[in-house]
Each structure stands twice: as structure tokens, then as C-alpha cells.
Amino acid sequence: MKPVRYSWLAPLFAVLASLADLHAASPNVLLVVADDLGYGDLGCYAAADLRTPNLDRLAREGVRFTRFYANGPECTPTRAALLTGQYPQRPGGLECAIGAGGVGRYDDAIRLAAVHELGLPASETTLARRLARAGYRTAIVGKWHLGYEEKFSPMAHGFDFALYAIGGGMDYFHHVEDPPTYLPALRLQGQIIRRTGEYATDLFAEEAIRCLRAWAQSSPREPFFLYLPFTAPHSPYQAPEEFFPEPLPEGSPCWKQNQAPPQVYAAMIERLDRRMGDLLHTLEELQCATSTLVIFVSDNGGTPSARPCGLRGHKGMTFEGGIRVPCLVRWPGVLPAGRIETRPFATFDLTVSIARAAGLPPPNTDPYDGVDVLAVVAGHTTYTNRPLFWRGRREQRTWKAVLDEPLKLVVLEEPGRRQEWLFDLSHDPGEQNDLLSVRPDDARRLRELLARWERDVQPRR
């Protein structure tokens, strides 16, 4: 009898061995996103009256970015950029926060909402899906805000586990959206759930810790990607002890983003910091802190309720106050501790960084718009200046900006009116000295750059 030759086993074993090596080298990723956290809302960013010892510790043990930008002046566009690594204009309809229940708030979004297509399509190449295919365990615990239809759910984008708030604002104790609809906002694997009385920040933190413990027990050698987008300190403004039997009434000022009582706003951020401390402690307890890349960032600039930070404007605008955000990154053994990074980077750079840290090749289609910021900070890649662009649309108003170091052009378009400002951020980070009239050639050059970019990011649908 002729011996059976299992020649196909050798390449199979080689593949399995390479996957084991990849998993051994690939870091876990804890990606935490705050909601509407202003640039000056942490102690390590000079907040004088806010106690944030755990995030301050993260800054000391990792890298603190002083010129980090959200890819949008509102939450939905930045979240789209974070998952795709691309400018949020490319998928279409996501340049403005999706309204409660799936409402479009500008022409393109209204068109897509009318045919039940307002959200991040499953056809987009997302970070979570790519990591899942590479052997990562993936979970989202927190705010989604990338579409209400089931086909836009986190599970359609590569998340194995999903406990999430489907939209924008949510009562912290009753988990319903803004009045007058009070739509249930909390979902577990796509199904509505109710956990009345659990403060949202605590609820999400506890579920994230549960995921970490379950993963450590079941398969400690497999890397994980835990996406934890908190809703704090987004309105409604509710402190952890302010539980009432009913959701906040429609007329409550707590729903309004520019009217946070300062003490309540501080309590929300301090609870967020406390839960970050619990997460970091859990990583240490599970002996995976040294193998975990921890990223903390905000989705856009602060509202008028944020602490003063010396920057012009606020959420919704493309002045610095609307797009510059706190960002902290810790990766033991790779990134230097205590580093302060002053060069400009943006949200989609984190996407590229996570993908490359996990050993993923560049996408075959829909290439990244960002760069590997962590490789630059670690000194593995040379920093190259590149222009950054923004465009946010809501109803009849459009904010735009282009940054080409050190100059920044800001544009506001409304029916019958167009305003422009030109700033040199190297001398004027607060954007107080408009150079438009004295540097017309620079303004023209930046205007042309912005127009070229807008042609390049035409939506795919």
C-alpha cells in the first residue's frame, strides 16, 4: 500500500505558526472616545478646576498630543473617519451628526434618509472588520451614531459584541433620546434593552471590564480590540447622583449643550476619569497592560459648556476650538513615556496606526487618508507635512477649513454669504489675527487646495 502523503499540512502549519507569531506580537487595543470633551477639559491640558488623575497618569506614561484634530466638528463624521481611516465625506451623508431616529440634517443626508440609506454602509472597509479577520476579538461598548437601520449596525462592521447607544444624546439614567420622541437608545446585539437607573458612564465601563475579564479567561493569547466610545460629557448634563424616576423633561436646560451647570459638567468628566482608572487597573490586574495600546481621544471640540482653553470657537465650527481635541496614547516599550507631541495629527491617523500595529497590510481598495502617527512618534517613520481638511454641513450652513502648516484658512458658507479667515497658527493659535487682507496669495493657494480636496472626496453614493 502506498503511504499517504499529507503534503498540504506543511503550508497549513506554516500559516498557523505565522498567525501565532502575529498574535504574540500584535498589541491589544483599547480605544476610548469621549463625547464633546473640550481641549481644556483635563488636568493634563491645564484645566484648573477638574480632577482627572487617571487620565493625567496616562499622559505621564504615554504621549500627550497638543495639536490633535478631530476629522469633523461634530461626532458622526469623526466616528466615520475613525472606523474607515478616511475623510468622512467619502461615504456620503455623514458630514453632520445624524438626528434622533435617523433624521438627515443637510441635503445629502436628507436624500439618503428618505431611502433608508443614512448611515455608514457595510460595504465600507472598517478597522473592526479587518481586525476581526486577522484574529482579533472585537467589541464596541458605548456610543455608535453611524446609522439607525439594522444594516448599519456595529455587527455589520466587524464587531463580535456590541452594547451601544444608537444615536447622539441619551438620558444617562433612562437611556432614551432627546425629547419629544424619547426613543429607546440602548441596544445589545441590535436589540433594544432597558437598564433603567444605571448611569451610562458606569454602565459602559462595567461592560467593558466584563469583556476584558471574559477574554482573559477564555482565550488570553488572542489579541482584542475594545472600542469604548463614552457618551460623557455630551448633554444632557446629569451628574452620577442625579437620578430621577422619569427622564429629563423636554424643557430642561440640561438638554441644551451650551447650558451645563459647571459643577455638573465637572462631575461628569471626573466620573469618566474615575472609570478610566478602573479600566487601566483591570489591564494591570489581568497582566496585559504592557501588551495593550491605550488611546484616549475626543470626537470633536467642546461645546460652550467646556472649560476655557484659549482657542476660538466651539463644537460645530472649524475654528480651533471646534476641532482641536485632547489625545493621549500609551504603548509601553514602543512609545516614549512623558512625550509631548506638538505636530498636527488627526483622528484617521489613529486608524492607520492601529491597523499597522496589528500587522494589517494597506487596504486593497479605499486606501487610507491618514498616516501612521505612532510610527512617527516612535521615530520609525519621518514626519512629512501634509495639508489637513475639514468640511461640516448642517442645514444651510457649511464650515470648511484647510491647514497647511503653519497657515489655516477657515470658511463659513451660508445662503447669500461667504466668510473667510486666514491665520498663522505658529504665532496665533487662538485665531485672533486675521491675515486675509495682508496675505492674499497665501489665501488663494489654500483656497485652491481646499477646492481640489473637495473634488477628491466626492461621496461614493
User: How crowded is residue 437: how many other Cβ atoms within 10 Å of its Cβ?
Assistant: 8
pTM: 0.94
Residue pair 449/404 in contact (Cβ under 8 Å)? The answer is yes
pLDDT in tens, 115-125: 999 999 999 99
pLDDT in tens, 411-436: 999 999 999 999 999 999 999 999 99
Domain positions in the chain are 25-387, 391-456
Helix (H, G, I), strand (E, B) or coil at 439: coil
Q: Which CATH number fits domain 391-456: 3.55.40.20, 3.40.50.10490, 3.30.1120.10, 3.90.79.10?
A: 3.30.1120.10
**φ and ψ of 54, to 5 deg:** -75, -40
Question: Residue 175 belongs to what H/E stretch?
Answer: none
pLDDT of residue 13: 40
Q: What gap in Å lies between CA 375 and CA 388, rounded to an integer?
A: 19
For residue 18, pLDDT over 60 is answered with no
pLDDT in tens, 124-136: 999 999 999 999 9
Half-sphere exposure of 198 (CA within 13 A, CB side): 14
User: How crowded is residue 397: how many other Cβ atoms within 10 Å of its Cβ?
Assistant: 16
Alpha-helix residue ranges (DSSP H) falling in 176-261: 200-218
CATH code given to domain 25-387: 3.40.720.10
